Amino acid sequence: MGTTAYERMLSVALAALHERDPERLWPLLAAELPLLCGGDALIYKLDNWDEREGTLGLSPGADTGFGPLGDEETSLLRAGYPLAGHYAGRADRTPVTARRVAGRAWSGSPTAKLLDGLLDVDHVLGIPLPRSTTPVTGCLVYRSGRDFTDDELRLAERLQPLLAAVDEQRQLLRRLHAPSEEAADLALTPRETTVLLLLGDALTALSIGRRLGISERTVHKHIANIYRKLGTHDRVSTVLHAQRLGLVPTSVGSRPGGVPGRRGGPG
């Protein structure tokens, strides 16, 4: 991976870690991924690839060509031909292009013709989230001219853990209840909020570190900051207090009676 691509990846990762709004995380990725992968535009879809429903997210600038779409055209994009079928039938989540999956049939497909008319692109690279099962979630990167190269596919594969981490951050932040005024005054950082949610799931500091890609020592520093800001001294009282403030959903990681489990001892 070139230095420029690495620096862009690092910039995206840092921006995602400091973003409080979960709905802004994928737009942030959508703005950078085409540049990283050598594409011109991107569509991401984080729910089921189905021609009948689902929200499409677009990279900046791509939305100008999608305004006049009818139901039939939108259905073609939602269906994700031929990549949705390719990934649905196997466990392998390696990035691949539409032409490599469908061969010559891709160029003559209704989807390819639609994309050519809308965005003047004729090649598609599928980048699914590496652990997605049903539905298969992820994004499609588009370009004109030539198909994506082997090097670009390898780069897309190296980007998959970053996409998965950012989407996990999105899901964790969305699980938060609207915080009370008292909770807002605590001024937890986005990373502290994420660690707090995982404490509510009864994960150890080691497990949290592995989940977030940081060291166990860094996790303990975040936990110490959380204890200080909430005025607590242990995991159970911290999670219970956070639940009362609306910082952690009451259903997360709790046993009957509302007391969080303590797998593996204290954080």
- Mean of pLDDT over the chain: 82
Question: Is it the case that residue 263 has pLDDT exceeding 50?
Answer: no
pLDDT-above-90 percentage for the chain:
35
pLDDT band per the 50, 70, 90 thresholds, residue 48:
low
pLDDT band per the 50, 70, 90 thresholds, residue 133:
confident
- The pLDDT assigned to 68 comes to 64
Please give the angle made by the CA atoms of 11, 15 and 17, to the nearest 5 degrees: 120
Poorest-confidence range of 65-69, 79-83, 250-254? 250-254
Q: Residue range 3-20: average pLDDT?
A: 80
Question: Is it the case that residue 252 has pLDDT exceeding 50?
Answer: no
pLDDT band per the 50, 70, 90 thresholds, residue 2:
low
Q: Residue range 174-180: average pLDDT?
A: 60
Q: Residue range 123-143: average pLDDT?
A: 87
Q: What is the 3-state secondary structure (H, E, C) of the chain?
A: CCHHHHHHHHHHHHHHHCCCCHHHHHHHHHHHHHHHHCCCEEEEECCCCECCECCCEECCCHHHHCCCCCHHHHHHHHHCCCHHHHHHCCCCCCCEEHHHHHHHHCCCCHHHHHHHHHHCCCEEEEEECCCCCCCCCEEEEEECCCCCCHHHHHHHHHHHHHHHHHHHHHHHHHCCCCCCHHHHHHCCCHHHHHHHHHHHCCCCHHHHHHHHCCCHHHHHHHHHHHHHHHCCCCHHHHHHHHHHHCCCCCCCCECCCCCECCCCCCC
In single-letter form, the type of residue at position 222 comes to H
